[in-house]
Chains A and B, each alone.
Chain A
Amino acid sequence: MQQEENTLYTVTVYSENQVGLLNQVSIIFTRRNLNIWSLSVSSSAIEGVHKFTIACRTSKELIEKVVKQIEKRIDVIRAFYYTDDEIVYQEMALYKVPTDAILESGKFEKLIRKYNARILEMNKTFVVIEKTGHCQETGQLFEELSPYGVLQFVRSGRIAVTKCKVEHVTNYIEEQEVRRVQESQLLCDCDI
């Protein structure tokens, strides 16, 4: 689908911990032929509530519809979408490079310092370097390591928190609790 507006949005989905939810969420992107740029799933600050962080490049109009359709799934509690300036986000990358090449280069220390990277493992054959940062930063380090032959490279999905104080979903869960009490009250009234 060709879209005029093309922004990277970060969608956060709060859900119950049910089997198959990832599938339920991802098929909504599939239906609209949207490519998920990155995805990460973990528990949230609220007990029993899972949090999906999905990055996707599309238009505002479309992401808004996608988020509503995600929320429509029964076990999804709430879903939101953000632009980069509304969130603090981070990614992590791992690079495996041949030990000989990187040592011979004489730039090893400089690179590690410049990128504030960490060495996780080092042996006779390879070095594993870890770098957290935005994808431009992890990408730059990849470029700089490339001349020495990157044996393996992996970048995690984006994780993000909003710039507001608590999870957006917290108030909602409190409201739902009120609804539960009201509805059971209503049911009792009917019985009388």
Chain B
Amino acid sequence: MSKMTGSQALIESLIAEGVKDIFGYPGGQIMPVFDALYDYKDRIKNVLVRHEQGAVHAAQGFARVTGKPGVVLVTSGPGATNVLTGVADAMIDSTPLVVITGQVPSQLLGTDAFQETDVVGVTLPISKWSYQIRKPEDIAWAVARAFYIAKSGRPGPVVLDFTKNAQIGSVDFDYKKCDYIRSYTPYPSIDNNALAKAAELINGAKKPMILFGQGIQLSHAEEQLKEMVEKTGIPAVCTLLGLSSLPSDMPLFKGMVGMHGNLGPNKKTNESDVIIAIGMRFDDRVTSDTSTYATQAKIIHVDIDPSEIGKNIPAEVGVLGDAKAVIERLIPLLENKEHKRWADEFDELNAIEHKKVIIPETKPEEGYLNMGEVVAAVSAACGDNAIVVTDVGQNQMMGARYSKYKSTRSLITSGGLGTMGYGLPAAIGAKLGAPERTVCFFTGDGGIQMTIQELGTIMQEKLGVKIIILNNSWLGMVRQWQELFFDERYSHTAMLNPDFVKLASAYGIKGKLVKSRQDLSDAISEMLADDEPYVMEVDVVEKGMVFPMIPGGKPISKMMLTTTEWY
């Protein structure tokens, strides 16, 4: 035990939790902590972002790549309110974060003091836990609890609102990691009866399908899932955030479900007799109209969060527990099987999508460059081994669909909240979390401009993020909806954009504008030639569309392949 200031105690607590990188921005009510950081430069690195929203999304990218909580350090008032989008995003996407916000001294709380905001109040509904540290004695306890809550069970963001008096007060520091909270059971014990029922259903199924989500990555269950798929011969499909948990080229992996998912997975959902849903939450972008979703199927829902089971889709069997532990215990109960005919039917449908959608998108012979074509070319040039970061919109769907994945945690994207502006800072965090890997960030002309100031962070930190701007001069996804569902009334979606390459150059970042098909591969080679940041702006076809598509509220059994063709 040693005597120190609250600020030092906070940093010592972070070090005790193994934190080496944080994402922060200083300001009045967090200055004592930043001052203390000055003496810890060799042990904790702060990435100075350009806007607090950048800090929180960078921390998310870091957390998604490493599996460790991302740490954010910002000031009170506007600093705190600027991180709210990222906190909400992390909550809905189960990303572990510890967000520390400065706060006015406790004697000023409630007085509308300068830069005071009720941070606990505004973060309660969008965080896993939020707590105000009002005295230095609470620091070790609160930080230990924060890390335990953020990373255990279903991960999520935790907010610590740190009053200035607690930062400057002195305390006898004694850190003890937290591993138990009476009112919180992060890893529920697995019910053997539920396992037996699940196994019986799976063993008796004629047309079973495994539908997995990010829970596989969050519980490190990739190997177990692979073993289960191989043993049972059951075709596996995934949600957007489940992508990269299994390698793209694994024969029994049949693709993605959802609004812009693959034809096989979506259509077969409504033909399957048993669906084994693991670590996913039946989001409306997956189910579309729930009254028409998999009504013929018996659903086994494996999730660590009791409130997810039966929330959107009723489960025949709910198996509460950590995905990895559940799969490990389930495998011995499952029979060795093949479902060749059934699995082949996925491929037959995917072949139709390949012919009608994927080939025209990725291998056009003339005309403007397509988004999918660019993504596929970048992915191939990276040997399918890059970490793919996307923004939100068409670039996101194209980036996710046309990248190939070899290893897990290779797609970083804002799933549940759909936060435009997420991508650039998330790519910064991803690169920092996995410096040895190539990070390719696909964005649009809209998304990049929401957090474009973070080019400054890339410049200052010299982070080799490869930025691919798929520029169609439109807010593409909204434009697509306007074309399909709003009588082509393009209300406020046309964008007059800056010269992104010049902009990058102002930040000292290399770049190139690609306008034609023959220049693409050279530009990609140039971009990937070294580990420096690069901006490749690609002029893509203006009115490109993401297909296939299930329009909102329509059954998943019918997908639009083109504007006029359904299957």
Contacts and interface: CB of A to CB of B under 8 A. Distances in A.
Given A24-B124, A74-B128, A74-B149, A16 B305 contact: no
B183 interface: yes
Contacts of B515: none
Given A31-B125, A65-B311, A74-B129, A16 B306 contact: no
A74 B120 contact: no
A187 interface: yes
A33 interface: no
B183 A179 contact: no
A72 B179 CA distance: 18
Contacts of A177: 182
Interface in A165-179: 173, 176-177, 179
Interface residues of B, number: 20
B185 interface: yes
B179 A15 contact: no
Interface in B178-212: 179-185
Contacts of A173: 182
Nearest to A173: B182
A69 B132 CA distance: 22
Contact of A16 (B124, B128, B149, B183): B183
Contact of A27 (B125, B149, B183, B311): B125
Given A71-B306, A74-B129, A179 B149 contact: no
Give the size range of A's interface with the partner: 20 to 34
Contacts of B291: none
Nearest to B130: A20
A27 B307 contact: no
A184 B183 contact: no
Nearest to A18: B131
B121 interface: yes
Contacts of B182: 16, 77, 173, 176-177, 180
A72 B307 contact: yes
Given A24-B124, A31-B125, A184 B179 contact: yes
B412 to A, nearest CB: 25
A26 to B, nearest CB: 10
Contacts of B124: 20, 23-24, 27
Nearest to B129: A74
Interface in B129-187: 129, 132, 149, 179-185
Interface in A5-42: 15-16, 19-20, 23-24, 27, 31
Nearest to B189: A179
B181 A68 contact: no
Contacts of A24: 124
B129 A184 contact: no
A74 B183 contact: yes
B185 A179 contact: yes
B180 A179 contact: yes
Interface string A67-83: 01101101111000000
A75 to B, nearest CB: 5
Interface of B: 120-121, 124-125, 128-129, 132, 149, 179-185, 305-307, 310-311
Given A72-B307, A184-B179, 16 more contacts: A19-B132, A20-B120, A20-B121, A20-B124, A23-B121, A23-B124, A65-B311, A69-B307, A71-B307, A74-B129, A74-B149, A173-B182, A176-B182, A176-B185, A179-B185, A180-B180
24 contacts: A20-B120, A23-B121, A23-B124, A24-B124, A27-B125, A31-B125, A64-B310, A65-B307, A65-B311, A68-B311, A69-B307, A72-B307, A74-B149, A74-B183, A74-B184, A75-B184, A77-B182, A173-B182, A176-B182, A176-B185, A180-B180, A180-B182, A184-B179, A184-B180
